Structures are given as structure tokens and as C-alpha cells.
């Protein structure tokens, strides 16, 4: 067994130098490694633990301490990886006999569940958007156009679950004939079909009639032109319209965005029995694992359902 002849800082630098030679790490990774190692060494020192004699239990206690400080799982996993490699070099260089981190696995990354609107809130939004264009006088052409446009966009987003980047670049030529299905170009240039419900198709017809009456849109190739008729509408403008719509309903505490509507589309379909493979195709996910997040949303809802309506929850059973 070897013994330390250097200061702690010198020793860390020496071991890191070996790791750098072996792994060919970038400068940023080296800085992160050093921070991780110094963090654990300082914790060991504070708790009177000799890092060369640290046990698996000591390492577990260290990570429990980090968790109590609300470190995220990806940060914990990186620190665990740094320490594993550091202690592996210590073992190879015969400073220790066993790596105390051998049995410890990476921390699972916690995927945030997508936030969605309830079916009731989305119906309220759609009705409000519909009412808004109906109350605008026909002579106020520009204002009427804007109200019909956001109503149509909202209907399409909720009917199809398409990404906002896909919607704003839709070509007008795709709507020469309005069918139940439309083939669109998604992420990575991959084509897929999306489906229009009856209300979405009606709103599209309404928008096309309005669009054709706007002289500045005549030579524009996009389904949804920008206000000045040059190019397509921006996602920022759509976000602004949706925010105004939600505020008029006093649900501005919930951020309304095209992305949240897409999540709502997926969540509502899953809750109503749609299968994952079909949902994957509709959303344009390359990997089924991306779609599987919605099953966790459903599980959370089902757990809440049991807590809310299970008959035993209303009965006080005394042991």
C-alpha cells in the first residue's frame, strides 16, 4: 500500500493528471472533475473521514447529504462517475485495495411530467376564441382576421398535436382540398400524417375564406402569413395571442403555449384509451420512449382517481 507524500491539492492534481491522460478529457470536464473531488474531500475532512479509508457507507452518506441539499440527479450521477474513476485510479496505483463505489449505480434521471391543460380548460379556450371572432364587426377586417386565425390555429393544434414549428410553416397548397388526414414534414425531415376533427376542418374553411379576402396575403405561400403578408406568422405572435386569450378567461396562472396544447392533446388521448404506438405516430416521436412519458401522466391521474373515488377512502376502518 502506498502512502501520501503530497498535499491534498497536489495529490488530487496528480490523480486527475492520470485520468486526463487515460481518458483525454476536455478542459471543462477537467474543471468539473476537480470540483467534484474537492467537494467530497472537504466533506470527508469535515466529518473526520480519511478518504483512503472511506467505505461504501461513507460514500452513501455523502450522497445522502447532497440529496438533502437538493442536488439534481444528473449532477449526482456526474459526481458519482467522477469519484468512481478517481477511486479506480487509487486502486490501480495501490493506494487502496478496493474501490468503495463499485456497487453504486448512477442516479436515475427524473423526467419532468409534461404539464397539460384539462379538457374543460381547453374547451373553454376554444369557445372563447370562437366567441371572440364572432363579436367583431365584419367591417373591422384586420381584427376579424386575427381572431379567426388564432381560433383556427388553436383548433389545429388541439386536433393534431403538431409542433408549432410544423404549423407555422404549413404551405397553403396543402389545403387545396381539406381531408381528414394531412401529411406534414416533421423533425428530421420525416413525414407523418396528422388528423383533423370536424371542428378543425370547419375552422380551416372559415380561415381560408377570410384569408382569401386579405389582399396582402394573395402572393403568400404559407397557410398562416405574418401580419404584413411577408413570410409566415411567428411563434412569438401565436404565444402572445394565446396569452391574451387565457387572460380573458382568468386562467393566466396557467401558462398557455402551443407546446402545452400539444401535451394536452397527447394526455387527453391516452386518458381516453389511445395506444402508445398510434400516439407515437401522431406526435412524430422517433423513439417510443419519448411517448411513454404520457403513461406516467396517466398513472398519476389514475392514482388520484383511486384516492378521490375509492369507497374505502370514505370509510373509517378501526383496527
- What residues are labeled active site? 163, 187, 259, 262, 285, 294
Cell of 217: 396575403
- CA dist 306 → 272, 299, 302 (Å): 17, 11, 6
How far, in whole angstroms, is CA 139 from its chain's centroid? 42
150 vs 132: CA distance, rounded Å = 10
Please state whether 153 falls in left (phi above 0), alpha (psi between -120 and 50) or beta. Answer: alpha
Contact 123, 154 (CB under 8 A): no
Q: Is residue 163 a contact partner of residue 284, using CB atoms and an 8 Å limit?
A: yes
If DSSP codes are grouped into helix, strand and coil, which group holds residue 90?
A: helix
Q: In sequence order, what are the beta bridge partners of 225? A: 232
> What letter would DSSP give residue 230?
S
Residue 152 near residue 203 (C-beta atoms within 8 A): yes
Cell numbers for 277:
404506438
Residue 261 CA to residue 161 CA, distance in Å, equals 7
Amino acid at each position: 500500500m502506498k502512502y501520501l507524500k503530497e498535499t491534498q491539492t497536489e495529490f488530487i492534481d496528480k490523480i486527475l493528471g492520470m485520468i486526463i491522460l487515460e481518458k483525454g478529457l476536455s478542459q471543462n470536464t477537467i474543471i468539473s472533475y476537480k470540483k467534484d473531488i474537492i467537494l467530497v474531500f472537504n466533506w470527508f475532512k469535515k466529518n473526520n473521514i480519511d478518504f483512503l479509508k472511506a467505505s461504501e457507507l461513507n460514500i452513501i452518506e455523502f450522497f445522502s447529504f447532497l440529496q438533502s441539499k437538493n442536488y439534481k440527479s444528473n449532477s449526482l450521477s456526474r459526481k458519482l462517475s467522477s469519484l468512481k474513476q478517481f477511486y479506480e485510479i487509487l486502486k490501480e496505483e495501490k493506494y487502496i485495495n478496493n474501490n468503495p463505489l463499485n456497487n453504486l449505480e448512477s442516479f436515475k434521471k427524473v423526467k419532468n411530467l409534461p404539464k397539460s391543460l384539462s379538457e374543460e380548460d381547453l374547451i373553454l379556450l376554444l369557445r372563447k376564441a370562437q366567441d371572440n371572432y364572432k363579436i367583431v364587426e365584419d367591417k373591422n377586417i384586420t381584427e376579424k382576421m386575427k381572431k379567426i386565425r388564432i381560433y383556427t390555429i388553436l383548433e389545429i393544434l388541439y386536433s393534431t398535436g403538431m409542433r408549432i414549428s410544423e404549423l407555422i410553416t404549413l404551405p397553403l397548397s396543402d389545403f387545396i382540398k381539406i381531408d381528414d388526414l394531412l401529411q406534414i414534414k416533421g423533425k428530421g425531415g420525416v413525414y407523418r400524417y396528422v388528423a383533423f376533427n370536424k371542428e378543425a376542418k370547419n375552422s380551416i374553411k372559415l380561415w381560408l375564406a377570410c384569408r382569401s379576402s386579405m389582399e396582402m396575403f394573395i402572393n403568400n405561400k404559407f397557410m398562416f402569413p405574418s401580419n404584413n403578408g411577408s413570410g409566415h406568422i411567428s411563434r412569438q405572435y401565436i404565444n402572445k395571442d394565446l396569452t391574451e386569450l387565457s387572460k380573458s378567461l382568468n386562467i393566466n396562472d396557467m401558462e398557455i403555449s402551443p407546446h402545452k396544447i400539444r401535451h394536452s392533446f397527447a394526455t387527453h388521448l391516452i386518458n381516453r384509451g389511445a395506444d402508445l404506438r398510434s400516439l407515437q405516430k401522431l406526435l412524430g416521436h422517433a423513439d417510443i420512449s419519448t411517448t411513454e412519458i404520457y403513461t406516467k401522466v396517466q398513472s398519476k391521474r389514475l392514482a388520484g382517481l383511486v384516492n378521490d373515488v375509492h369507497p374505502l377512502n370514505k370509510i373509517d376502518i378501526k383496527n
